[in-house]
Structure 1
């Protein structure tokens, strides 16, 4: 808009106006305009009435809001599905989007199966639409007329998780559902091959030798066990975490980070200042998760197949022949 040739200017982008624009963008039945005189949204019919009443010279008073087509919504769903770290639900969401007719309904039905994922979708969708509106606003009149809105986080808010899960420390007898979950982990490992089976063997040894009696656990609001970590209090302000796990249906949501956060803060209150954590199986790549916080490796276990070594290297036993 050429602000030097008109007396109209963009109103401040308040939260109320921002939400109104987002809501109107998703309305596929009507076209909406921003009335620069009143600072509010009007429909195509209302705009036509005002133009007829006031004359076409007032046309620059009305600014069409950003277009938002069904294809834009579909693209947004694809973005979200690709960001879901849980492989089970990522596959199901992508399958819904590729199923042809009724993809929007199938996508929403899949999300509804896991309320925490559904909440994340709504948060992601709102965040992306906010970006579209703010970018469009800046294109219209630069940043001078904008309010200083809160900086937007790259990660979705963790408040959603905090609403859906509770965290607690337990000591002494292992709850039955936790004992059952640990047994399930061992059985899944034994059914695997190679490195997974070895990781399961090591986990079984740790459970047997350590017989942990301290746990930090996460439960859903309905009381179902979602994740846990075992720990033992050592000397000199050191606490050891020999193993931990998150149930498959809750992986990829950021739950472990919150579980570990609640655990770390609890340990600090008890004056345990260093946490020794063992990574095995699928968790070995989580060293990247801890490295930004000053984590340093103190030992490492590797698995190598003897036949691969023996095939790739000349036998040193020949020296004794």
Structure 2
């Protein structure tokens, strides 16, 4: 079983989608990703769900997704990589509050475009590693050609 590099990129995006009502399933025969959401038209949802259920574990594999705990840990670990003590302090301050942590963290990043770009690259790299590990656990290879 192999997937394309393009499908790998799509899976990385799917992994980072932490909306509770979004589910993604990799079809290893077509190299496509099926999407399910409560916001879909009922007939379309039922059709996709039936197809996924029929091939689940053989053709369709549920794509893992990040959760808020993992996202928070990623932010904490990223802060350790920031060279500027001032920005590092601002990011730690954003993480130390109880409510709105993700929003405040992103606000600090938005004020520092270079750091924001570093963060997005950091998240991409770590999520790529997680997806590749998942693919390996399912014995799915990536077509490197």
TM > 0.5 fold call: yes
Query: How many aligned residue pairs are there?
Result: 133
Match of 2:13 in 1: 23
The equivalent of 1:101 in structure 2 is 99
* Alignment partner, residue 289 of structure 1: none
Match of 1:123 in 2: 121
Cα distance between partner residues in 2 of 1:19 and 1:34: 12
2:49 is the counterpart of 1:48:
yes
Picking from 30, 36, 43, the partner of 1:38 is: 30
- Going from structure 1 to structure 2, the CA distance change for 1:67 and 1:114 (only over 3 Å counts) comes to closer
Aligned to 1:218: none
Q: Distance in 1 between matches of 2:85 and 2:26?
A: 42
Contact 2:2-2:143 within 8 A present in 1 as well: no
Deviations 1:130-156 (A, max 9, x none): 1111111122116xx33348xxxxxxx
Structure 1 or 2, whichever has the larger Rg, is: 1
Structure 2 residues not aligned, in runs of 5+: 37-44
Deviating above 2 A after TM superposition, structure 1's stretches of 4 or more consecutive aligned residues are 10-13, 43-47, 145-149
> What are the residue-to-residue correspondences of 1:1-321 with 2, within 5 Å?
10-14=1-5, 16-27=6-17, 28=19, 29-44=21-36, 45=45, 47-50=48-51, 56=54, 58-59=55-56, 60-141=58-139, 145-148=141-144
Q: What is the RMSD computed on CA atoms of the aligned residues?
A: 2.0
**CA-to-aligned-CA distance 1:87-132 (integer Å, 9 cap, x gap):** 1111110110111111111001111111111111111111111111
* Partner SS state of residue 43, structure 1: strand
Match of 1:296 in 2: none
1:60-80 CA-to-partner distances (Å, cap 9, x unmatched) read: 221011231121111111110
1: CA distance between counterparts of 2:69 and 2:75?
A: 10
Matched residues in 2 for 1:83 and 1:51: separation? 41
- By how many angstroms is 1:81 displaced? 0.7
Structure with larger RCO (C-alpha < 8 A, sep 6+): 2
How far is 1:51 from its partner?
Answer: 5.1
Please, which runs of 5 or more residues in structure 1 have no aligned partner?
Answer: 1-9, 150-321
